[in-house]
Amino acid sequence: METRINLPQSEMPKAWYNALPDLPTPLAPPRDPETKEILTPDKLEPIFARELIKQEMSSEPLIEIPEPVQDIYRLFRPTPLVRALKLEKAIGAKCRIYYKNESVSPAGSHKTNTSVPQVYYNKLEGVRRLSTETGAGQWGTALSFACSMFDMKCTVYMVKVSYEQKPYRKILINSYGGEIFPSPSDRTNSGRAMLAKDPDCKGSLGLAISEAVEDAATHDDTRYTLGSVLNHVLLHQTVVGLETEKQLAMIGEKPDYLVGCVGGGSNFGGLVLPFLPRKLKGEDITFVAAEPRACPSLTRGSFRYDYGDMARLTPLMKMHTLGHAFMPAPIHAGGLRYHGEAPIISNLMEEGLVDARAYYQNDCFEAALLFLKTEGFLPAPETSHAIASAIDVARNAKPGSCVVFLYSGHGMLDLASYDAYLRGNLENYELPQECIDQALMMCPTVEG
């Protein structure tokens, strides 16, 4: 029996799958953060590459992956689909568990699937430098990798508290040739304003977004990039699900459950969206989204228009949100500490097509260590949510079911989190309803 299902490179997908035309109800349009009017594409042009704006609103069912992007994908794609036999045995599972391993990419997570095309399209349009924010550091690493491939400059604003906690991220980003600044920095008006108010401010993702957007808006040769949430990001991630579909077909498997962790929703979307047409035709496939109990945007958030960032600079998107003012507890899965959820995933959730579940961080680390001791690899703290959820699903599924989860990244740069867990220093945060209610009160009201 094959336990590692490798797809030949000749079978690597040549086009991404665009879910927009297949959604049972169309997405609510993004709106201007100031006027609240429906946004026209030209408004986004000072910030994003034109081709990416086109993809954001495209109705084409398939979008060709440019040859230079495929060329870089081939450094690490197709990624393996692996049968987790030892994990199955350890939990006494009556079903088969597979994982799609995206941790084999150079930056160590699925985020390179979108950083590579984003850098490529910007380069084509004459952009010389890209700016972005990063929380835990994975997106900044993926972007600096892609910039080094296309000989572009890269500026990363990293939330100061993570910058200090994870010094190896900075070294890796510098090694790829990127520059990185703890946010708040003295390079932007938003950073300087915050430092004037509070010189010891440890930063937040919302503030880092404000700095990166301002940097792009005030420099002609620079544009901004985002590593999750947006439609074009989920589009690029579908290479994951498209490969998985072929790999399962190779061994005559049909998935009953597809499981992924959700921060902004891009790795989960990348896995499940290519299976949406089959699900809509009546195939019984359950899409399971695993999120932290400390930041439960799908299980406890509200579906409404909200800003993507704390500084209210981004367009308004209709999504499941805990409110842009929501400050999640300092859990170790930094990549899952986002107040909102991708509009596409939120839309599917409203249609009843996503089964969302929330987990405590200690249970996730316990699952991660079980995975480590059976399958051998050290998962990222974000990925541990997918593992905890896959185990949960496998324990309760009908015998003989096929469970596939997305292994979004490795945890080799997150060892301090494991240290905290092993010392018994991790808290399970309970999130009182008042915190959510309070943050939701700050959401904008939008007619229609």
Ligand X SMILES: *Cc1c(COP(=O)(O)O)cnc(C)c1O
In this chain, which stretch among 89-97, 211-219, 245-253, 257-265 interacts with ligand X, using CB under 6 A?
A: 257-265
Q: Does the footprint of ligand X cover residue 264 (CB under 6 A)?
A: yes
In this chain, which stretch among 145-153, 170-178, 355-363, 376-384 interacts with ligand X, using CB under 6 A?
A: 376-384
Minimum CB distance to ligand X smaller for 383 or for 417: 383
CB distance 253 to 244 below 8 Å: no
Q: Does the footprint of ligand X cover residue 138 (CB under 6 A)?
A: yes
Among 70, 185, 401, 408, binds ligand X (CB under 6 A): 408
Q: Does the footprint of ligand X cover residue 240 (CB under 6 A)?
A: no
Among 267, 321, 389, 401, binds ligand X (CB under 6 A): 267
Minimal CB distance residue for ligand X = 409
Q: Does the footprint of ligand X cover residue 156 (CB under 6 A)?
A: no
Nearest to 414 by CA among 379, 386, 446, 438: 379
Q: Does the footprint of ligand X cover residue 154 (CB under 6 A)?
A: no
Q: Please give the size of the binding site for ligand X, defined by CB under 6 A.
A: 19
Between residue 272 and residue 291, which ones bind ligand X under the rule CB under 6 A? none
Minimum CB distance to ligand X smaller for 176 or for 268: 268
Residue 175's Cβ-side half-sphere holds a number of Cα atoms within 13 Å equal to 10
Smallest gap, in angstroms, from Cβ of residue 384 to ligand X? 9
Burial status of residue 189 (CB atoms within 10 A of its CB: 0-12, 13-18, 19 or more): exposed
Smallest gap, in angstroms, from Cβ of residue 372 to ligand X? 15
Among 81, 212, 230, 261, binds ligand X (CB under 6 A): 261
Among 18, 162, 383, 417, binds ligand X (CB under 6 A): 383
Phi, psi of 53 (to 5 degrees): -65, -40
Which residues, including other chains, have CB under 8 Å from residue 392's CB and lie 6 or more apart? 357, 359
Minimum CB distance to ligand X smaller for 88 or for 382: 382
Q: Does the footprint of ligand X cover residue 101 (CB under 6 A)?
A: no
CB distance 338 to 319 below 8 Å: no
Among 262, 289, 356, 404, binds ligand X (CB under 6 A): 262
**Beta strand 286-292 pairing with 355-359:** parallel
Q: Does the footprint of ligand X cover residue 113 (CB under 6 A)?
A: no
Tokens of 21: 């035309």
Which residues of this chain interact with ligand X, rule CB under 6 A? 109, 111, 138, 228, 261-268, 335-336, 380, 382-383, 408-409
